[in-house]
Structure 1
C-alpha cells in the first residue's frame, strides 16, 4: 500500500478534546522534553540509533541516513517495534500516531502497520503542528475567556475548592507542586512543555464544555516550583478579578499540619521505606532553609529549633509538636507575604468569604 493512500488527519481540536490515544514514534529523548498527556512513546528508532543516523545524515546525506536506518531497524528489531504498536492498537483501536513533523518516521511506521493489516491514521505535521495548535489555542482562550482567581492565605484549602468546581483548572496539580517551599513533590515535576500542554488542554476542555462560564484558577505567581506559567496565561491572570477565602488561623494550621506533616510523613515512608524518617526530616529542614533570606537568620534559627524538637518528639506526641513551628512560619512568613501581595490587588477582589460562601458564589456567577 502506498503511503499516499494511508489516512492522514489534521483534526487537531477534535483529537485533543476527545482525548484520543496517540502513539508517539519519536525517540525517547524527544518524548521526555515534551509530549501530550494521552500519548505513549513507542519509538521507531531509539536514542542511540537516532544519534547515529543523525551523524550519517550530516556527513553523507539523506539517502545514506535512510539506508542506515533500515539497516539498524530490520528483522527482529523491526518486528518487535511493530508488535508494540499492534498491541497498543489492540487496546486502543481509535489511536493515531505521529512523529516530530509528520514526515518519514510516522509515514514509515504507518506503512509497516499497513503491511500487517492494520490501519492507523497519522497526524499531519506531527507533534510540531499539534504543539503549535495548542499554543494558539491558549492565546485565543486568553483573549476571549474571562478568568476568576481563587485566592487566600496559606492553608485556606484553595486546592480543595478548585477540585470541586467543574469550570476550574488545577495549576498545582499539573505542576506536581503545591506552590510553596513546603509544597515540593516527592517525585519529579513534569517537563516544562508537558506542564504547559496539560494546563492548556485543560483550558480547552473547560472552554469547550462551558463556553459561557468564566474559568476559575488558583491565584499563583508566575512560577510553581521549577515550572512557570505560559506568558499569555500569566498576563490574563494579572488582570482578572479575585475571590478570597477567609479561614481562621487555627483552622489553617490544622490543614497545614495534616498536609505538610501527617500526609507528607506517610507519603515519604511509602516512597522511601528504608530511609523515610531521615528523608522526612531533611525535607522539613530544607524547606525552612529555602525561605531563610526572607525570614531572617535569627527567626529561622528559632523556628529551626522548634522544628528539630518536633522531629525528635513526633512519635511520642503523635506529631503534635509540629504545630508550633507551623504557627510560627505561617504568622512570620506566609501571612505577611500574602497580605503584602493582596494589598496591591485589593481593587480586584470581587468577593470574599468562607468555603461554603465562596463555593455558593461561584455557582451563582
Structure 2
C-alpha cells in the first residue's frame, strides 16, 4: 500500500483526489474543492456516538459506533469507499484529525481487499496549512490592486493575469448590490480554502507579485481574510479606465444578459419562472441601495427598470435597460467611487485602459 501522507503542498498543487469520511454536517461547514464526502457515519449516528463518548468514554462510544454501522449499512459504505479508491488509485482518505474514523475506514477497506492511504492530521491539519500558507504569501509578495469605476472591467484584468487572486470568483459574487448570482455563495471556510489554494498555485508558478481587484472587506457574504485585507489597504493601486458607453454595455452584459441566462439555465423547462426570478433579482438589487440612493430616486429608477423588464419579457430586447444602468452610474456609483478615490490618490501608480493596465502589470511582474 502507498504510505499515508502529510505532504499537503503536493496534494493541493496537484489536485489529488480525496475522500472525506467526516459526517455530512462537518463537510457542509467546510471542505476543499473537488473533494467527495463518503461519511463513515450519518449526522445522527455521529451525534449518538458523541453523546455516548461524553457519558461513557471512548471504548463504549466505539462499541456503539460498530453497532450503528453494521450489516448491510456497513457493506454499502465499504462498497462506496472501494469504488472511490478504484476510480482514484492516486487519492487519499481523511477524517477530521486523521484519527479513529479514517483508521477504521482504512481497516474495513483492507479487510475488503482494498489498501488505501490516509492523510495524517486529517482535515484540521490541512485547513491549518492553508491558513498559514495564505498569510505567508500575502506577507512575502508585493500586492497590486486593480481599482476603477463600476463597469470598467476589473474582473477581466484579473482573469487575464496568471499572477492574480480572484476574490469575486471564489466568493461567487460580483461585489456590488447587484452582484449575487442565481446560485448561492460558498460558505466562509470554503471561500478561504479555495483562495489559499489559488495563492499556493500562483506562487508555485514563480509569481513575484499578487494582483487583486479592489474590494471591501465583504464580498457578498464572504469575508476577505483579515491579514490579506489589511495588506490590500496599503498596496499600490492601478486605476482602470474606460468610456461611459463601454461601461454601460459591460454592465448590461453582466447583470442583465448573463444573469437572465443563469436563471434560465436553472429552470430550462419553465422560462416564465426563470424570468420572474431574474426580474425579482434585479429589482431586489435596486431595493438594497434604497437608503443610500434616496427613496425618490429609487422609485424613479425602479419604474425605468420595470419598463425595461416588461419590454424584455415582451420582445426579448435588453436595450431599454441601458437607461437605468446609465442613471445608476451617474447618480450613485460614480460619485461614490470619486469620493473613495479622493482618499487613495497617493497610492495610484498607473492609470489606463484595459490593454495598458494588463501590459503594465505583466511588466511589473518581471521586475
TM-score, normalised relative to structure 2: 0.95
Q: Residue 281 of structure 1 is aligned with which of 262, 279, 287?
A: 279
CA shift for structure 1 position 163:
1.1
Q: Distance in 2 between matches of 1:176 and 1:332?
A: 27
Q: Distance in 2 between matches of 1:245 and 1:200?
A: 26
Q: Distance in 1 between matches of 2:319 and 2:181?
A: 23
Q: Which residue of 1 aligns with 2:253?
A: 258
**Contiguous gaps of at least 5 residues in structure 2:** none
Matches within 5 A, 1:177-188: 177-188=173-184
Q: Distance in 2 between matches of 1:198 and 1:6?
A: 27
1:232 aligns with 2:227: yes
Q: Which residue of 1 aligns with 2:333?
A: 334
1:10 aligns with 2:35: no
CA shift for structure 1 position 56:
1.6
CA shift for structure 1 position 230:
0.6
Q: Which residue of 1 aligns with 2:290?
A: 292
Q: Distance in 2 between matches of 1:21 and 1:317?
A: 44
Q: Which residue of 1 aligns with 2:168?
A: 172
Matches within 5 A, 1:1-365: 7-211=3-207, 213-272=208-267, 273=270, 274-314=272-312, 315-316=314-315, 318-365=317-364
**Contiguous gaps of at least 5 residues in structure 1:** none
Q: Residue 14 and residue 266 in structure 1: after superposition, are their counterparts in 2 closer, same or farther (change >3 A)?
A: closer
Q: CA RMSD of the aligned region, Å?
A: 1.4
Q: Distance in 2 between matches of 1:342 and 1:81?
A: 57
Q: Residue 10 and residue 270 in structure 1: after superposition, are their counterparts in 2 closer, same or farther (change >3 A)?
A: closer
Conserved in 1, the CA contact under 8 Å of 2:181 and 2:259? no
TM-score, normalised relative to structure 1: 0.95
Q: Distance in 2 between matches of 1:7 and 1:115?
A: 17
Aligned residues: 360
CA shift for structure 1 position 7:
3.1
